[in-house]
Amino acid sequence: MLRSKAWKLICRRLLFYHKEEIVQTISIQVADLQKAYKKLTVLANELKARSILHRGVEIRTEGWN
C-alpha cells in the first residue's frame, strides 16, 4: 500500500511538471506568432502604401489589420 501511494505522488508530480512545461512551450509559440503577425502587418501596410504611391494598384489586405 505504501508503494502505491508513493508512486501516485511521484506520478502526480511528473504530470504537474509536464503540464507546466507544455504551458510554457505554448506561451512561447503564441508570443512568436504574435511577433510574426505584427511583422506581416507592417510589411503588408508598406506594400500597400508603395503600390498606391508608385503604381496606383491597391493590394488587398483584408483581415490583416
> Span 50-62, mean pLDDT?
60
Which H/E stretch holds residue 27?
Answer: helix 2-50
Amino acid symbol at 25? T
Of 48 and 51, more confident: 48
Contact at 8 Å (CB) between 51 and 58?
yes
Q: What is the pTM of this model?
A: 0.51
- Give the pLDDT confidence score for residue 37 in this predicted structure: 92
Of 17 and 37, more confident: 37
